[in-house]
């Protein structure tokens, strides 16, 4: 028996809609057949590329040949399009952030349950090599038990000048980038979150946050700093991860960085004092390779292919696999983002059991 090829229509053929189409060119179980966009220019572009175009959402919903709707519109209408899509019998791939609040996600989960249609969120940054390298270091216990990590993205170009400026459209950096960093953090530290202290920034004067810093504490006391910045002209590392016996820093998406590990775990002897600044210090004397107490390695490289997401989506429809991105995980991240907004508003830490 030959395998079914699923027909997919892109809803919102902008930047990310186009990126999906490029990725899907090499996914043989899915055929992109058409597009719907509220902008005529985008439909003209789709038509010039040989795709079928739809002049309303309704016309996609009533097209029985469409199996999957891929939602890549601005964030505020993901919920309604997803609900209508599933009610019309379509499976849904939805861009992040899935929704604007946890109530909307719970609602969509119920509709998915009721209709039997799959709803899966494109948390594609689970396939980023920098994240996978950190995961590998933690899985292999290279640094000893990791008790603190920093995960961040720093840019200096502000918020792109479109719907991302508008609160009602789900703009702002917590929802835009925070969602990715938090999603991955909860996979790296698989235990309950007990508190969050967050500060958002509004340096650029938009209605929405242009950056965030959130300190997140987990049940065992492990802590993470999650940071998004859009006015950082010198970016700090994407990752700084530290365990009892080593630390790793990943500077950028080209995987510059290093992993430092202690050679002798029982090495507690005092260092010779060094001159540092205007004083002397033993405590802060750097370890050296010369003393043979530390090894520095490059960051490990990990192969990944984000197309695994689409194949998993098809396998999940056919129930030969479980969704890689689970709706319960998406809901938990949304609740954490709600706690981040709450902490900023209150100016204090929010206690959680999440």
Residue carrying structure tokens 């030969």? 320
Shortest Cβ distance from residue 130 to ligand NAD (Å)?
A: 14
Shortest Cβ distance from residue 103 to ligand NAD (Å)?
A: 18
Shortest Cβ distance from residue 32 to ligand NAD (Å)?
A: 15
17 phi, psi to nearest 5 deg: -55, -40
Neighbours of 106 (CB within 10 A): 14
Nearer to ligand NAD, 37 or 67 (CB): 37
18 phi, psi to nearest 5 deg: -65, -40
Nearer to ligand NAD, 127 or 147 (CB): 127
The residues pairing with 182 across neighbouring beta strands, listed in sequence order, are none
Nearer to ligand NAD, 9 or 336 (CB): 9
CA distances 339 to 12, 99, 105, 344, Å, are 30, 15, 16, 9
Nearer to ligand NAD, 20 or 117 (CB): 20
39 phi, psi to nearest 5 deg: -95, 125
User: Is residue 55 reached through a cis peptide bond, with omega within 30 degrees of 0 on the bond before it?
Assistant: no
Q: Which of the 8 DSSP states describes residue 209?
A: -
C-alpha 95 chain-centroid distance? 11
Nearer to ligand NAD, 124 or 242 (CB): 124
Shortest Cβ distance from residue 24 to ligand NAD (Å)?
A: 14
Helix or strand run (H / E) with residue 342: helix 327-346
Nearer to ligand NAD, 152 or 243 (CB): 152
Helix or strand run (H / E) with residue 216: strand 211-218
Nearer to ligand NAD, 87 or 258 (CB): 87
Residue of 286, 318, 253 lying closest to 68 (CA atoms): 318
Nearer to ligand NAD, 17 or 229 (CB): 17
CA distances 123 to 116, 196, 238, 303, Å, are 21, 22, 18, 17
Shortest Cβ distance from residue 17 to ligand NAD (Å)?
A: 6
Q: Output the six-digit token pair for 31.
A: 């055929």
Length of the chain (residues)? 354
Nearer to ligand NAD, 168 or 220 (CB): 168
Q: Are 54 and 36 in contact (CB under 8 A)?
A: yes
Residue number of the CB atom closest to ligand NAD: 14
Q: Which residues bind ligand NAD (CB under 6 A)?
A: 11-17, 36-39, 42, 72-75, 77, 95-96, 122, 124, 162, 176
Shortest Cβ distance from residue 134 to ligand NAD (Å)?
A: 18
Shortest Cβ distance from residue 216 to ligand NAD (Å)?
A: 22
Q: Are 306 and 124 in contact (CB under 8 A)?
A: yes
Shortest Cβ distance from residue 37 to ligand NAD (Å)?
A: 4
Shortest Cβ distance from residue 41 to ligand NAD (Å)?
A: 8
């Amino acid at each position: 028996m030959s395998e079914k090829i699923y027909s997919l229509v892109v809803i919102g053929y902008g930047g990310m809609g186009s990126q999906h189409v490029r990725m899907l060119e090499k996914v043989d179980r899915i055929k992109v057949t058409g597009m719907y966009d509220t902008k005529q220019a985008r439909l003209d572009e789709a038509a010039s590329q040989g795709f079928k175009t739809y002049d309303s959402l309704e016309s996609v919903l009533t097209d029985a040949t469409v199996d999957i709707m891929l939602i890549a519109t601005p964030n505020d209408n993901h919920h309604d399009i997803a609900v209508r899509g599933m009610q019309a019998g379509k499976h849904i791939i939805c861009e992040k952030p899935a929704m604007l609040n946890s109530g909307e996600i719970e609602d969509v989960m119920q509709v998915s349950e009721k209709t039997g249609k799959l709803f899966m969120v494109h948390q594609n940054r689970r396939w980023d090599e920098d994240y996978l390298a950190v995961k590998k270091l933690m899985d292999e216990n290279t640094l000893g038990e990791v008790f603190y990590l920093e995960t961040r993205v720093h840019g200096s170009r502000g918020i792109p000048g479109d719907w991302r400026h508008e609160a009602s459209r789900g703009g702002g950096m917590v929802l835009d980038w925070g969602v990715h960093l938090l999603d991955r953090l909860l996979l790296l530290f698989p235990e309950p979150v007990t508190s969050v202290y967050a500060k958002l920034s509004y340096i650029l004067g938009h209605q929405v946050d242009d950056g965030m810093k959130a300190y997140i504490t987990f049940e065992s006391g492990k802590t993470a700093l999650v940071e998004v910045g859009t006015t950082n002209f010198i970016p700090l590392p994407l990752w700084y991860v530290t365990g009892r016996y080593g630390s790793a820093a990943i500077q950028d998406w080209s995987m510059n960085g290093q992993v430092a590990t202690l050679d002798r775990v029982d090495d507690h002897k005092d260092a010779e004092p060094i001159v540092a600044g205007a004083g002397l210090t033993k405590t802060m004397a750097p370890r050296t390779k010369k003393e043979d107490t530390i090894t520095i390695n490059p960051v490990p490289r990990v192969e990944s292919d984000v197309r695994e997401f689409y194949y998993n989506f098809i396998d999940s429809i056919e129930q030969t696999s479980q969704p890689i991105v689970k709706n319960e995980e998406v809901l938990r991240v949304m609740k954490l983002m709600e706690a981040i907004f709450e902490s900023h508003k209150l100016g204090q830490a929010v206690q959680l059991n999440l």
